[in-house]
Structure 1
Amino acid sequence: MRDYQWLYEYCLNRFGSVEALEARLPHARSPAELAAVGDDRYLSLISLRIFRAGLKHSLVDAKWPAFEEAFFGFDPEKVVLMGGERLENLMQDTRLIRHLGKLKSVPRNAQFVLDIAREHGSFGRLMADWPSCDIVGLWKLLAKRGNQLGGMSAPRFLRMAGKDAFVLSDDVVAALKAQEIVDKTPTSLKDLALVQTAFNTWQEQSGRPLCHISMMLSYTVNH
């Protein structure tokens, strides 16, 4: 694999200036910022990510104020008490996206958020304390203990929340293949470990957030 200096110079050459490149890179929240976010906001973001999956994001976002109202501001203590009858009633609410499986995921993830809060003090504390050298491990935790957070949902949720992480978009996977780190979309524990190691190496070489490196890698793929 090529080193970070090659990656940086490639992107700099593509965009023409340091300022132009930096303007295209995502922002990662600090651990203190992540810890300060309330459990209700994390439950709202988890739910937003799940409802966005397979749908136009702007459509979901426009309906989100109604979701906030229907789910008690995503207060996990209240949402976890929502039973099947309440969710069936929400299927009649035309302000919402009426997908029963996704609606059911909200109280299930409320329980997940509450469990994590009991273990770590808050969901934000887990997000703040989880080391960037094991983002793959955080994906696995979210997929295993959360509901409907498998596949790309966990990585996308982390990006939405501002947790410093990489996202295995099609372009990033293509770049990793070009760097001969993997030869196919990484799904096995072995391949994901290889990807994590590569990102850790680039981060050690550059001191940059993982989200910057991830985005820069995507820019090395020609369209």
Structure 2
Amino acid sequence: MRDYRWLEEYCLNRFGSRQALEARLPIARPAEELRALSDDRYLSNIALRVFRAGLKHSVVDARWPAFEEVFFGFDPHKVVLMSAEHIERLMQDKRLIRHLAKLRSVPRNAQMVLDLNREYGSMGNLIADWPGEDIVGLWRLLAKRGNQLGGLSVPRFLRMVGKDTFVTTGDVLTALTGMGVLDRPTATSQRDLATVQKAFNQLADESGRSMGQLSAMLAFTVNH
């Protein structure tokens, strides 16, 4: 596996200066901010991620105020009480994106948020305290217990709320393959994800950088 020095040199050459590179790298929220974010905001972001999947983000975002209204500000205690009949009636609301499976996911994910609240004190506590060196473990937990959270939905949701994570996009996987971490640019099995996690942990130890920054830097090494 190529080391961090190679990755940094490549990115510096691409952008011309350290200042230009740093301006392109994401900054995660500190743990205290993640902990302070309320459960309704976590549920709203989960739902937003679910509806963005496969759709143009600007279209979903433009309709989101209506979603906030019909789902009671995404208060999980209220949303979890919404009946199947109530959800089906929302299919008649032209302000919304009328996708029944995704609409049904909202109260189901509200139940997940409430369950995690009881187990960890709040969704924020869970996300803030989860160690970066096992971020794929958090992906696995949320995907298993949530609804419509397969694929890259969990890491993208975590990015939305500011939790430090890498994302196994095609560019990142291609870069890891080129660095000798993977045999092919896919990471669908738990074994593959463990290999990717190990590589990110090594790069983080070498550089002191966040997972999100390393993820972006790896993506920059793929030509477009």
**Structure 1 residue identity aligned to 2:65:** P
Alignment of 1:59-74 (within 5 A): 59-74=59-74
**Structure 2 residue identity aligned to 1:218:** A
Alignment of 1:46-57 (within 5 A): 46-57=46-57
CA contact (8 A) 2:2 2:180 kept: no
The alpha-carbon deviation at position 180 of structure 1 amounts to 1.5
Q: Following the alignment from structure 1 to structure 2, what is the Cα–Cα distance between the partners of residues 164 and 79?
A: 28
The alpha-carbon deviation at position 99 of structure 1 amounts to 0.4
Indicate the residue corresponding to 1:168 in structure 2. Answer: 168
TM-score of the aligned structures, taking structure 1 as reference length: 0.99
Alignment of 1:173-184 (within 5 A): 173-184=173-184
Q: Following the alignment from structure 2 to structure 1, what is the Cα–Cα distance between the partners of residues 177 and 6?
A: 16
Indicate the residue corresponding to 2:191 in structure 1. Answer: 190
Indicate the residue corresponding to 1:205 in structure 2. Answer: 206
Q: Following the alignment from structure 1 to structure 2, what is the Cα–Cα distance between the partners of residues 163 and 175?
A: 22
Instruction: Indicate yes or no: 2:26 matched with 1:26.
Output: yes
Indicate the residue corresponding to 2:98 in structure 1. Answer: 98
Q: Following the alignment from structure 1 to structure 2, what is the Cα–Cα distance between the partners of residues 39 and 97?
A: 23
Cα RMSD over matched residues? 0.6
Instruction: Indicate yes or no: 2:38 matched with 1:38.
Output: yes
Indicate the residue corresponding to 1:13 in structure 2. Answer: 13
The alpha-carbon deviation at position 139 of structure 1 amounts to 0.7
- Once the two structures are superposed, residues 117-146 of structure 1 have per-residue CA deviations (whole angstroms, 9 ceiling, x without a partner) of 000000000000000000111110011001
Q: Following the alignment from structure 2 to structure 1, what is the Cα–Cα distance between the partners of residues 152 and 127?
A: 18
Indicate the residue corresponding to 1:214 in structure 2. Answer: 215
- In structure 2, the gaps of 5 or more residues are none
The alpha-carbon deviation at position 71 of structure 1 amounts to 0.2
The alpha-carbon deviation at position 88 of structure 1 amounts to 1.1
Alignment of 1:59-138 (within 5 A): 59-138=59-138
Q: Following the alignment from structure 2 to structure 1, what is the Cα–Cα distance between the partners of residues 189 and 92?
A: 41
Q: Following the alignment from structure 2 to structure 1, what is the Cα–Cα distance between the partners of residues 27 and 98?
A: 33
Q: Following the alignment from structure 1 to structure 2, what is the Cα–Cα distance between the partners of residues 47 and 195?
A: 27
- In structure 1, the gaps of 5 or more residues are none
- In percent, how many aligned pairs have the same letter? 69
